[in-house]
Amino acid sequence: MRANSYREVKEGDIVTVQEKKLPRQLWRLGKILRLIPGRDGAVISAVVKVKSRNGATEFKRPLSKTLPS
Protein backbone atom coordinates (compact mmCIF):
# COMPACT_ATOMS: atom_id res chain seq x y z
CA MET A 1 0.00 0.00 0.00
CA ARG A 2 1.27 3.47 -0.81
CA ALA A 3 2.03 5.86 2.04
CA ASN A 4 -0.55 8.42 0.87
CA SER A 5 -3.37 6.00 0.05
CA TYR A 6 -6.22 5.37 2.47
CA ARG A 7 -6.57 1.65 1.80
CA GLU A 8 -6.61 -0.85 -0.99
CA VAL A 9 -10.05 -0.78 -2.59
CA LYS A 10 -11.53 -2.45 -5.62
CA GLU A 11 -14.68 -2.18 -7.67
CA GLY A 12 -17.58 -3.97 -6.02
CA ASP A 13 -16.51 -3.17 -2.44
CA ILE A 14 -19.27 -2.11 -0.05
CA VAL A 15 -18.53 1.13 1.82
CA THR A 16 -20.22 3.48 4.26
CA VAL A 17 -20.52 6.95 2.71
CA GLN A 18 -19.82 9.87 5.05
CA GLU A 19 -22.49 12.55 4.86
CA LYS A 20 -22.34 16.06 6.28
CA LYS A 21 -24.84 17.09 8.93
CA LEU A 22 -25.90 13.52 9.69
CA PRO A 23 -24.84 11.38 12.65
CA ARG A 24 -22.68 8.40 11.74
CA GLN A 25 -25.45 5.84 12.35
CA LEU A 26 -27.49 7.45 9.52
CA TRP A 27 -24.76 7.31 6.85
CA ARG A 28 -25.74 5.21 3.82
CA LEU A 29 -24.11 2.08 2.45
CA GLY A 30 -22.86 2.17 -1.11
CA LYS A 31 -21.12 0.01 -3.69
CA ILE A 32 -17.99 1.16 -5.54
CA LEU A 33 -18.74 1.06 -9.26
CA ARG A 34 -15.60 2.68 -10.67
CA LEU A 35 -12.26 3.88 -9.27
CA ILE A 36 -10.83 7.23 -10.39
CA PRO A 37 -7.03 7.66 -10.32
CA GLY A 38 -5.21 10.95 -9.80
CA ARG A 39 -2.38 12.31 -11.93
CA ASP A 40 0.17 10.08 -10.19
CA GLY A 41 -1.90 6.94 -10.83
CA ALA A 42 -3.01 6.46 -7.22
CA VAL A 43 -6.74 6.03 -6.68
CA ILE A 44 -8.14 9.19 -5.07
CA SER A 45 -11.89 8.89 -5.58
CA ALA A 46 -14.62 6.53 -6.68
CA VAL A 47 -18.06 6.48 -8.25
CA VAL A 48 -20.37 5.09 -5.58
CA LYS A 49 -23.91 3.78 -6.03
CA VAL A 50 -26.28 4.25 -3.08
CA LYS A 51 -29.93 3.45 -2.58
CA SER A 52 -32.26 6.44 -2.56
CA ARG A 53 -36.00 7.08 -2.47
CA ASN A 54 -36.19 7.15 -6.27
CA GLY A 55 -34.19 3.97 -6.82
CA ALA A 56 -30.40 4.23 -6.94
CA THR A 57 -28.11 7.23 -7.23
CA GLU A 58 -24.50 7.34 -8.41
CA PHE A 59 -22.07 10.03 -7.38
CA LYS A 60 -18.35 10.71 -7.13
CA ARG A 61 -16.84 10.63 -3.64
CA PRO A 62 -13.22 10.98 -2.44
CA LEU A 63 -11.88 7.89 -0.66
CA SER A 64 -11.42 10.00 2.47
CA LYS A 65 -15.24 10.25 2.68
CA THR A 66 -15.81 6.47 2.52
CA LEU A 67 -15.30 3.78 5.14
CA PRO A 68 -15.04 0.05 4.52
CA SER A 69 -18.06 -1.93 5.71
Q: What is the pLDDT of residue 6?
A: 52
Exposure string of 22-48, with b = 16+ CB inside 10 Å and e = fewer, is eeeeebeebbbeeeeeeeeeebbbbbb
- Please give the average pLDDT of every successive group of 10 residues along the chain, which has 69 residues: 61 94 93 95 94 91 90
Q: What is the pLDDT of residue 14?
A: 96
* Whole-number Å distance between alpha carbons of 55 and 51: 6
